[in-house]
Structures are given as C-alpha cells and as structure tokens.
Amino acid sequence: MAIARDPGSGRDQTLSVNQIEALIANGQSIVIIDQKVLRVDAWMPYHPGGYKPIQHFIGKDATDEFVVMHAAETRQLIDRYQIGRIEGPWRNLVPPIQRGHKQADKEQTRQGNVDCSDKSNKHSAYSEGLPEFSPERNTPEELAFLNAQTKEEIRLTLDRYPALDARTQSDIIAKYRLLHEQIQSEGLYNCNYAAYLWEFGRCSLLFAMMLILLRLGWYCTSAIFLGWFWSQMVFAAHDAAHMAITHDFVIDNLIGMIIAAPIGGLSLGWWKRTHNVHHLVTNSPEHDPDNQHLPFLAVNHRFLGSLFSTYHERLMPYTAAARRLVPYQAYLYYVILMFGRFNLYVQSWLFLAYGQGPRKGPAWWHRYFEIAGNLVFWAWFGYGIVYRALPTAGVRVLYVLISHAVTMPLHVQFTLSHFAMSTADLGPAESFPQKMLRTTMDVDCPEWLDWVHGGLQFQAIHHLFPRVPRHNLRRVQKLVLQFCREVGIPYALYGFVGGNRKVVGSLAEVARQAAILAECRRVVAGKVGGGQGH
C-alpha cells in the first residue's frame, strides 16, 4: 500500500521567501523552476555549460530560460535536486554574483552613486542597476558623468518598453509560453536535414576550390575560399552547440566539436562556456563576456569607468591603451574584427590549457577530444598547407592573414545584433522574453540570402528560442512579430547596412563620451597642478 508523503516535509514542503533567502545567504545555490525549489550545488561541477550560467539564476525563477535551452531529457532530471516548492508567483531576488540588494546598496552608498530609482508607476527603475565604477580610477566628476549617463539610459529604456510591474511582466511570460507551445505544435523544433545536405555540399565545394587553387598556385584566392569555408562551417557548429540539429547531447556535441577543433582549430567548449552566459545576461557590461572587449572596443559608456567583470572575475580597467584606442573605435571597428579569429585561437587555447570546462559529468571527455582535434587542425593547416604547400615565408604570412581576414563579416554578424542595443540593467523584475528582445537586433534580408547570414540574422528570434534549427527561424519570426504586437515590446529589425550604421554610430557616441571624460581629466589635472604652483 502506498504511503502518502507529508506535504510539509521533504521535497514537497512549502518554502517561504525568508527560508529561501536564508539558504542563499548560507552559500547554497537555490533556483526556482516550475514552482520547484532546487538546490543545485551538487550539479554545478557537472553542468556541461559551466557553473557561471547557474550562478546568474540563484534566487530567481529560471523556468523559461531552462525550458528553451535544455532538451526534454535534461528537464526530466531536475526532480533529484528538489528540496521544496513555492506557492504563487515568485519575486526574483538578485543573484549573489550580481551583488544582491544589500551589497549593491552598500556599494552605492560608499561610492556616492546617483540613485536612479523612481518609485512611480512605469519608472520604478532598478536602483541597484547602477554599475560599480572604480573610485580609485575615476575622479568624482567622472563618476558623476558616468552615473548620469547610466541613469539617462535606464530612463530612455523604460520609456520604450513595457512596465516592470508584476502584472505586466506576468502577462508577457504567459503569452511567451503560449508561443513556445505553438512553435512546438507546429514542429518548428524539428530539424530539416535536407537543408544540411545542401550545407555540406556547399562547404565541400568551398574546401575543394581552396585545394584546387592552392595546387594551381593561386594562393591569395585559395586563402579567400578557405576563409569562406570556415565561416560557413561556423553556422553548423553554432546549431550543434545549441543542440538544434539532432537534439541529442552526445551527437550534437560531437558534430560541433569536430567542426570547431579539427576543422576550425577552436574550442566548442570555450564557446559554450561564454555563449551560455551571453544568452542569459545578454548585453550586460558587467556580466556578458561578449561585450567585454577592452582595450580595443568600449561598446557602452560604462566601460569607461573600470568595471568588474563577473565572468572573468577581475577588474576591466580603462587603461592608457584603451584611452588611446576607444576615441577612434568607430574607425577601427572593421579593422579590429579582421583579426577576430586570432582572438578565438587564444581564448580556445587558454580554455583547454587551464581545463576551464567541466571535469565531471557527461562532458568530462570533451577537453581531451578538443585538444586532439586542435592538434589535427594544426597538422593539416599549419604544417600541411602553410608550411609545406606555400613556397615562401612572405606568402605564408599573406595566406594566413587573408584567410583569417575573410572571416571578418562573420564577426560583424556576431556583434551587429547586440552592440547598438540596450545595455541597461532593469533588474530581476524584467521577464526573459522582454530582456532578449530589448538587447538583441535582427537583420532583415531576402530569403535567398539566408545562407550568407547562416541564421545569425535572426538573433532576437534565436535568443528567444535557442534550440530552434536555423532553417525554421524565418517562420518563427512571423510568430514573434505577432507576439511583440500583442505585448507591446518593440522588435528591432534593420537592414544589414542600416544595422552597421547603427552600430558604428553607437561606437562613435561612446567615443564622444570618452573624449568628454578625457577633457574632464585634463581640466582636473590642470586645477591640481595650478593649485600646487601657488
């Protein structure tokens, strides 16, 4: 005979907000999913996507993010970590990694930051959203300027987007979940494998042309085809990393790692470690590694104040090198992105060398697979092509530079969808779908050009539904447009030229702000020097 479980104890016990806050204060990792209270400390070392994504959801309801980013098999495993339940809607807390309410209040008081909270109606701005600038590296005048810019950014953002009250955001979440169910019912999570046959044929042709032209001695043209080949292969690796091809963890990761390591010389594990965080805290200067490019680029004025990166766990100082480069970043943007692939090599090597990926769980072997794959890459590309097939040192250098510079449009595509979008921190009350649409831009293009963009032109759609195969994103876009009209969230859609113009304009605006700060610094230095001279 079955024995009924006491609803007040064990996994079925109802936990209060105070109890959950106490658990988090004691250092436990508590996440809410489907009204279930999960303690995930034991799972964090095993999580294939790393522990950082989980840290950003401690004390929060992560139901929507968890559902759209994980396969059904993974979603069935959460019960083993359940320690209780909640009743009714959950009011998100600020995760410790994002400093939390008490720590943020303490820091704001210590630094004298501007309070941007307006408790009235729509403009109940998230006061802890002001970043922690470094008072040791910035004068009071600079801090006042930077915080005023942040306050204005939050105000303008709140004017454009739905209110952050619980009722409005709950309505957005409810409609978003209905949209997710519609996408599932229409079979848009199912992969079109015939489309991948065309992908394979196109990539094979590019690689074959590279070899033929190399044999004929057309070295520069051969390098161009190699760069195009790498760019096209990245699209499939991106799909596989999101488990959007077979939806099987092992198979999709094998596909992605084979493309990334032996074919591309990169690490899919490194990419997933950063990309998962990017998907969850999109465009946050303090938390999103895809925004952190100092000293070469400052995509927001907040980088001019020496922020602390929670991803890299170190200060991102606005150094002398940054002061020289950032004022010209609008002109250097495309030049810098021509060398983007070299940065990916460095980040991949560091990730593999230091073993920064999971060492336990289903992904424990990925590091060794990718190390072997990178050795294969440098055997065929570094030794077989660059060293053996090319006649002189000058030709070798030119071949490497051209083949890597040709991938620049791919890096433009990566940055295009975010660099000019909102970076304001509206706090834990903002729903997942609103945050994704607020921080991400889509690029409009005719359907016959989809293969050139590789699905990356639908970044807003992809951020809402990461596991939808890219060949179905155009259909999903129509459904998202209807969703945006119903909930009143602006959908950012620009042509490729218009999107580039917006990004370059945004970089130029940050450069202008950097010039104002530089002038402020010179004035302050002059006053100090003048005072000392009397």
Tens-place pLDDT, residues 339-390:
999 999 999 999 999 999 888 888 999 999 999 999 999 999 999 999 999 9
Please identify, among 59, 80, 98, the residue that sits at the C-terminal boundary of a domain.
98
CB 492, CB 442: distance < 8 Å: yes
Chain centre distance of CA 492: 17
pLDDT of residue 127: 38
Q: Is residue 306 domain-resident?
A: yes
- Express each pLDDT in 495-514 by its tens digit: 999 999 999 999 999 999 99
CA-closest candidate to residue 358, choices 370, 343, 346, 376: 370
Tell me the HSE value of 206 on the side-chain side, using a 13 A CA sphere.
Answer: 18
Average pLDDT (416-424) is: 92
Q: Is residue 522 domain-resident?
A: no
Q: Is residue 497 domain-resident?
A: no
Ramachandran angles phi, psi of 325, nearest 5° = -90, -40
Please identify, among 98, 130, 155, the residue that sits at the C-terminal boundary of a domain.
98
Residue range(s) defining the domain that contains residue 49: 17-98
Ramachandran angles phi, psi of 461, nearest 5° = -65, -45
**Cα distance between residue 193 and residue 20, in whole Å:** 45
Q: Are residues 64 and 173 in the same domain?
A: no
Using alpha carbons, list the distances in angstroms from residue 291 to 51, 398, 504, 508, 533: 19, 30, 15, 16, 43
Q: Are residues 182 and 327 in the same domain?
A: yes
Q: Which two structure tokens, joined as six digits, stand for 158?
A: 């709140």
SS (H, E, C) 465-510: CCCCCHHHHHHHHHHHHHHHHHHCCCCCEEEHHHHHHHHHHHHHHH
Q: Is residue 162 domain-resident?
A: no
CB 378, CB 265: distance < 8 Å: yes
pLDDT at 160 over 50: yes
Q: Are residues 88 and 173 in the same domain?
A: no
pLDDT at 140 over 80: no
pLDDT of residue 1: 33
Coil, helix or strand at residue 199: helix
Ramachandran angles phi, psi of 153, nearest 5° = -60, -45
pLDDT at 5 over 50: no
Tell me the HSE value of 114 on the side-chain side, using a 13 A CA sphere.
Answer: 17
**Cα distance between residue 348 and residue 193, in whole Å:** 29
Q: Are residues 254 and 370 in the same domain?
A: yes
CB 419, CB 236: distance < 8 Å: no
CB 253, CB 268: distance < 8 Å: yes
Q: Is residue 532 domain-resident?
A: no
Q: Is residue 511 domain-resident?
A: no
CB 376, CB 383: distance < 8 Å: no
Q: What is the pTM (predicted TM-score) of this model?
A: 0.87
Q: Are residues 94 and 240 in the same domain?
A: no
pLDDT of residue 430: 94
Q: Is residue 112 domain-resident?
A: no
Q: Are residues 180 and 73 in the same domain?
A: no
Q: Are residues 381 and 467 in the same domain?
A: yes
- Express each pLDDT in 180-218 by its tens digit: 999 999 999 999 899 899 999 999 999 999 999 999 999
Q: Which two structure tokens, joined as six digits, stand for 289?
A: 């590694």
pLDDT at 533 over 90: no
- Express each pLDDT in 291-330 by its tens digit: 999 999 999 999 998 888 999 988 888 899 999 999 999 9
Q: Are residues 193 and 83 in the same domain?
A: no
Mean pLDDT of the residues in the chain: 87
Q: Are residues 90 and 187 in the same domain?
A: no
Q: Which residues pair with 442 in a beta bridge?
A: 493
pLDDT at 117 over 50: no
Q: Are residues 273 and 374 in the same domain?
A: yes
Percent pLDDT > 90 in the chain is: 67
pLDDT at 71 over 90: no
Coil, helix or strand at residue 90: coil
Q: Are residues 68 and 181 in the same domain?
A: no
**Cα distance between residue 146 and residue 367, in whole Å:** 41
Q: For the chain, how many structural domains are there in total?
A: 2
pLDDT at 8 over 60: no
Q: Are residues 93 and 201 in the same domain?
A: no
Q: What is the CATH number of the domain that holds 71?
A: 3.10.120.10
pLDDT at 2 over 70: no
- 276 exposed, middle or buried (CB, 10 Å; 0-12, 13-18, 19+)? buried
* Signed CA dihedral, 141, 142, 146, 152: sign only: positive
pLDDT at 9 over 60: no
CA-closest candidate to residue 418, choices 460, 468, 477, 451: 460
Q: Is residue 117 domain-resident?
A: no
Of the pLDDT bands very low, low, confident and very high (cuts 50, 70, 90), residue 136 is: low
Q: What is the CA radius of gyration of the chain?
A: 24
- Which residues are CB-neighbours of 447 under 8 A, at least 6 positions away? 474
